Structure 1
């Protein structure tokens, strides 16, 4: 099932030798992979919420007297709080959507190198399709949660695999990947909401979305130019020394020149003066530890950015409700989410025009956002929803910019031998931040709703 390609000693990237046409194919391929990989993750929260609500409605209909069912407030809102609160039961869906991803990203980089990329993609396609089917046909809460978990597994394994895969291509495919993942948020939320608004049931909507895993399959196997079948740290020098084409030798030389320039500037993540660094066998545990240590200047700021924005999204956004506004609470919340996704899409598509290495600045600005909105929820001093709209758009811009710049500079400043492992390992940063934010949002939400 895995496509074959000639394998180079210690290759940093292999974009193929098809000129500009091949470069555009790869860019579009990674854009589609990013879109499809994050699509189910984006859709699952909304879809699972709708189906859980339907199941709760069935339960209340069968357990409550008919004359009382019509008097149950929509959304099960709390009447004892000054805030228009809803139950936090959907927080379980959020954690189901991120915890499997986090576990995969923590452990998979140490063992996933034995699995060819083609098999990983097939597994991600199967998990995404199964998630849509499970949530669509769920007849119990646990089935919906299992469906969300499958979507999380697909997204987590896909992200670390495709980020690792990008090192075999020209670095501009990261622009395509980042833009595609940003587009997934906008496309997923708008498509799902649009179909539901048009009167299509959640079940049929999810069945329609089964086309997305098929697009992922076609993008990898038929759109991308051939890539090596195993990660670079599994190869030995004896496999291929005489098989390099002139084009491949040129690419390797360009990458080595770039590494020397980066090293001279003092911005190489991992030192080149250790003898074992130039070995061609599998990475040792010591080397992996050094790689992980070198990644902290990027992973920590990325985790803080995502902690702040998901704390806002899951813990505060619902509470930023303006009564004297032409949009209802549900409509305000929907526009918050949409503007956030638009901001992410714009900034994740900006790498060609804007590169910023000091990603910690994004963390600082995002934490300032969190503090401002936390006080805004507590003291309600913001005069209009329009200000919140602007802040939420700004929040999305910061998060997307932090993501694409983090992985761009990790790819650029890491020696080729470590690059694939580094890209896979660094992807844990955003998931860790999201998981911590999900846990922290529960008590904050409960506190405000109890006031």
Structure 2
């Protein structure tokens, strides 16, 4: 049986005010994606600088403690002459930056629909603000880690909220969201580097980033033009209301009157999803969640487990410079592919996972047997890795939105986002034994 028309069906071309509103919402979701993912990207760069300064600035350390540290550094240097390893893998910071977000995505889909969107956005912005302040003014390691965790909480809550929020708008806003999240990687990597290279301390640079939680609030409360049926501060704004409203009828472009009336009545009368329906919906989402998990596991296994080991001493670029170029090219690849939804849509999302796993295996073998000649060969592989990851993200959420039933769509978009965070967390855990193995050679 043919599925009823979607609440957020792809819009037909419009003129005048409606086209302006459509572009305004697209830009609003682009800014939401940028501001929401920006703290996550920044913390992966800035937390290390803050922790390093705290360690080096500890003037009260005992002589015994300093000598023990020197012995540890010497042992690390002796055991890592082949790979120029750091004592701790970069996956350690990633783990602190993803676990709170993972917890949010695992458990909140069953509860979050009961929380009004306005409150969710305020909580996300407040958590991000707290993260920048805590890491900037931290005087102990635990304060920095707590700050990173607040950033992860705010980003995870925001991603779930804004993905499910998209059901109240035309589906093209998912392209704006995806492009904005991709832009956050490039903007975060560049802006933090520019500010620190200009002479600002990591603390001052992070305080400058407080503009982004404010921009998040402006993008949501000022930029977006939601339908009349949408209520910011109550739980009444649901898809089954939007379907039955005039705005909902308008968004169901081209639906027959009889079909629309039947769909609206059925969805209104059904009410919110039960726990049984949610679990059944999750089962149907596995064809999207599993590819998302695999592509992000392979992607972040490369980024946090292998990138720092792909060092070529003969290059005019230092180890740190090679690593920064890897990260920047990866983020550019993600940005390009997350902005591609307006040009191409690919339904066979498992292809991205398979190709990304091939990438991970290739680079793992390259680290072990060192058959790649120089960093210039690695650069296009890393860019290609970013393309696969970004394309997987936007296509998976686009087709979830397109193929989900009207009543299930809001929950489905929120629940499926657990795939990327779970893949990232597993990759961070896997990077520890891999790092230890290669650095012991």
Q: TM-score, normalised by structure 1?
A: 0.87
Aligned to 2:21: 22
Deviation at 1:56, TM superposition (A): 1.3
Contact 1:233–1:283 (CA under 8 A) maintained in structure 2: no
Structure 2, gaps ≥5 residues long: none
The answer (yes or no) to whether the contact 1:232–1:417 under 8 Å persists in 2 is no
Q: Which position in structure 2 is the counterpart of 1:265?
A: none
- Residue 392 (str. 1) matches residue 382 (str. 2): yes
Q: Equivalent residue of 1:22, what SS?
A: helix
Q: Which of 10, 13, 24 is matched with 2:8 structurally?
A: 13
1:286 aligns to what? 276
CA RMSD of aligned residues (A): 3.1
Spell out, residue by residue over 1:36-75, the C-alpha distance to the aligned partner (whole angstroms, 9 max, x if none). 0000000001111001011111237743499989989999
User: Could you say what secondary structure the match of 2:407 adopts?
Assistant: helix
Greater shift after overlay, 86-95 or 124-133?
86-95
**Distance change (3 Å), C-alpha of 1:171 and 1:213:** same
- The separation in 2 between residues aligned to 1:236 and 1:406, in whole angstroms, is 23
Task: Choose which of 331, 349, 353 in structure 1 pairs with 2:343.
Answer: 353
Q: Which of 322, 325, 331 is residue 332 of structure 1 equivalent to?
A: 322
User: Kindly tell me: are residues 200 and 191 of structure 1, through their superposed partners in 2, closer, same or farther at Cα, counting changes over 3 Å?
Assistant: same
The one-character-per-residue Cα deviations of 1:348-401 (angstroms, maximum 9, x if unpaired) are 000011100001000000000000000000000001111110100000000000
Within-5 A mapping of 1:159-308: 159-227=159-227, 228-229=230-231, 244-245=245-246, 248-254=248-254, 279-308=269-298
Q: C-alpha separation between the residues in 2 aligned to 1:249 and 1:236?
A: 12
The 3-state SS of whatever aligns with 1:323 is coil
1:410 and 1:255 map into 2 onto residues whose CA distance is: 20
Distance change in 2, residues 1:255/1:412 (3 Å): farther
Cα separation, partners in 2 of 1:235 and 1:397, compared to 1, 3 Å: closer
Q: Where do residues 79-158 of structure 1 align in structure 2 (5 Å cutoff)?
A: 79-81=78-80, 82-88=82-88, 90-158=90-158
Helix, strand or coil for the counterpart of 1:88? coil
- Is 1:376 matched with 2:394? no
Cα distance 1:294–1:124, how it changes in 2: closer, same or farther (>3 A)? same
Structure 1 residues 143 and 221: CA distance shift in structure 2, 3 A: same
Pair 1:413–1:376, CA change in 2 (3 A) = same
Q: Which residue of 1 aligns with 2:392?
A: 402
For 1:236 and 1:195, the matched residues in 2 are separated by 47
Contact 1:91–1:442 (CA<8 Å) still a contact in 2? yes
Residues 239 and 407 in structure 2, CA contact (< 8 A), matched pair in contact too = no
Tell me the distance in 2 between the aligned counterparts of 1:199 and 1:27: 36
Residue range with higher mean Cα deviation, 141-150 or 94-103: 94-103
Determine the structure 2 residue equivalent to 1:38.
37
Distance in 2 (CA, whole Å) between partners of 1:70 and 1:92 is: 19
Secondary structure of 1:79 counterpart:
helix
Change (3 A) 1:342 1:126: same
Match of 1:343 in 2: 333
Once residues 169 and 239 of structure 2 are traced to their aligned partners in structure 1, the CA distance between those partners, rounded to angstroms, is 17
TM normalised by structure 2 equals 0.89
What's the CA shift string for 1:105-133, capped at 9, x where partnerless?
01101001111101100000100010000
Unaligned runs of 5+ in 1: 1-9, 261-271
Name the CA distance, whole Å, in 2 between partners of 1:303 and 1:180.
21
For residue 47 of structure 2, what is the aligned residue in structure 1? 48
The runs of at least 4 consecutive aligned structure 1 residues that moved more than 3 Å come to 13-18, 59-77, 89-92, 230-237, 253-257, 275-279
- Measure, in 2, the Cα distance between the counterparts of 1:118 and 1:291: 26
